[in-house]
């Protein structure tokens, strides 16, 4: 068998049973590809199922307020993705609900780049176009023993051409998914299992005995460690006071969270809350601690019950009181959801 046939035979035998692989419906494929950007497969599955149950078509999402989509996305991170998906769905709905069928047409929709366009066009519509995500780039770079940075335009062009040679036009979508699956499970960043790879024959990286050297590792920016304090202010009827992040925020704009400041220790946090929100703050001992990462920050967050006396919220802040039952339907930050919403309510 040639390389394309070997790849597809391996995929047929080893493919994972994932919910988005049980359909070629274009909207489901689009949603899955957006969710899988920067997100692990097992994390994405429940979000995908809930999102499709509520928004079974682009028109359904287009008709819903962005806040509802954000709420369903809450905890998945990288919220710019759902904002762009909402904008794309509105563009499709405005065009009569018909999704474009080619990669070139799909790229004209808001928020759809070359990778997503190629994935949807090949999987849903059978167009013989290659995809190039991180997994595919690694497989192909090792096959060519290509030592250049995949982010470079010329390198990307060579990788796309080589990936295209592995796409069987009769099963274009399966070919692309097979390459992605191969990169995720066999041709892994560390300790690739070359002996189990259907493309080992003719792979220059494997033949060199140094497959891990391709593509060359990119320099990683050192994360900045940040300490934060979240104040849990409880009012009448057990309602919690939350604030909404401004739309101008670079990270998680428009999402709700308990008032939070960057500080270490009770006294420093009380002063920071007073400066940020006004009034007089009194914080208790920590009631919960979380660690989470956002972009290039590693955040240590402690939550403290708080008493706050002030005439009003500081000017310019959107805020509100919410019952525990109302929290699950809010577009919360991931940290806020972990702190405030029981898993069974998510």
Catalytic residue among 6, 33, 257, 302: 33
Euclidean distance between CA atoms 34 and 72, whole angstroms: 14
**Spatial contact of 144 and 213, defined as CB atoms under 8 Å apart:** no
3-state helix, strand, coil in the chain (%, to 5): 50, 15, 35
**Spatial contact of 255 and 245, defined as CB atoms under 8 Å apart:** yes
**Spatial contact of 139 and 187, defined as CB atoms under 8 Å apart:** yes
Max Cα–Cα distance, the chain, nearest Å? 76
Euclidean distance between CA atoms 333 and 76, whole angstroms: 9
Euclidean distance between CA atoms 138 and 188, whole angstroms: 8
**Spatial contact of 35 and 47, defined as CB atoms under 8 Å apart:** yes
Question: Active-site residue 315, yes or no?
Answer: no
DSSP 48-97: HHHHHHH--SHHHHHHS-HHHHHHHHTTS--THHHHHHHHHHHHHHHTTS
Q: How far is CA 135 from CA 67, 193, 229, 288, in A?
A: 32, 14, 37, 37
Count of alpha carbons within 13 angstroms of residue 203, beta-carbon side: 27
DSSP state of 269: H
Euclidean distance between CA atoms 76 and 97, whole angstroms: 27
The residues carrying an active-site annotation are 33
């Amino acid at each position: 068998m040639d390389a394309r046939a070997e790849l597809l035979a391996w995929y047929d035998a080893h493919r994972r049973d994932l919910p988005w692989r049980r359909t070629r419906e274009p909207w489901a494929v689009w949603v899955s590809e957006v969710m899988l950007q920067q997100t692990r497969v097992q994390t994405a599955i429940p979000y995908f199922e809930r999102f499709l149950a509520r928004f079974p078509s682009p028109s359904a999402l287009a008709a819903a307020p962005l806040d509802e989509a954000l709420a369903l996305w809450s905890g998945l991170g990288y919220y710019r993705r759902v904002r762009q998906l909402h904008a794309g769905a509105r563009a499709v709905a405005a065009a009569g609900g018909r999704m474009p069928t080619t990669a070139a047409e799909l790229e004209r929709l808001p928020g759809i780049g070359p990778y997503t366009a190629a994935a949807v066009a090949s999987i849903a519509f059978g167009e013989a176009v290659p995809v190039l995500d991180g997994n595919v780039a690694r497989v192909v770079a090792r096959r060519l023993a290509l030592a250049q940075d995949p982010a470079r335009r010329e390198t990307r062009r060579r990788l796309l051409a080589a990936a295209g040679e592995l796409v069987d036009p009769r099963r274009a979508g399966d070919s692309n998914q097979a390459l992605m699956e191969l990169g995720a499970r066999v041709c892994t960043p560390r300790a690739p299992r070359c002996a189990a790879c259907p493309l080992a024959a003719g792979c220059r990286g494997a033949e060199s005995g140094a497959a891990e050297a391709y593509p060359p590792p990119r320099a990683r920016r050192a994360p900045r460690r940040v300490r934060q304090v979240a104040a849990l202010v409880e009012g009448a009827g057990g309602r919690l006071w939350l604030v909404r992040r401004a739309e101008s925020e670079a990270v998680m704009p428009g999402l709700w969270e308990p008032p939070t400041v960057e500080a270490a220790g009770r006294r420093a946090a009380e002063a920071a809350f007073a400066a940020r929100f006004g009034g007089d703050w009194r914080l208790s001992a920590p009631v919960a601690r979380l660690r989470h990462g956002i972009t290039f920050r590693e955040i240590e967050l402690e939550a403290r019950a708080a008493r706050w006396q002030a005439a009003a919220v500081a000017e310019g802040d959107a805020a509100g009181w919410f019952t525990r039952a109302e929290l699950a339907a809010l577009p919360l930050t991931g940290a806020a959801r972990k702190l405030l919403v029981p898993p069974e309510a998510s």
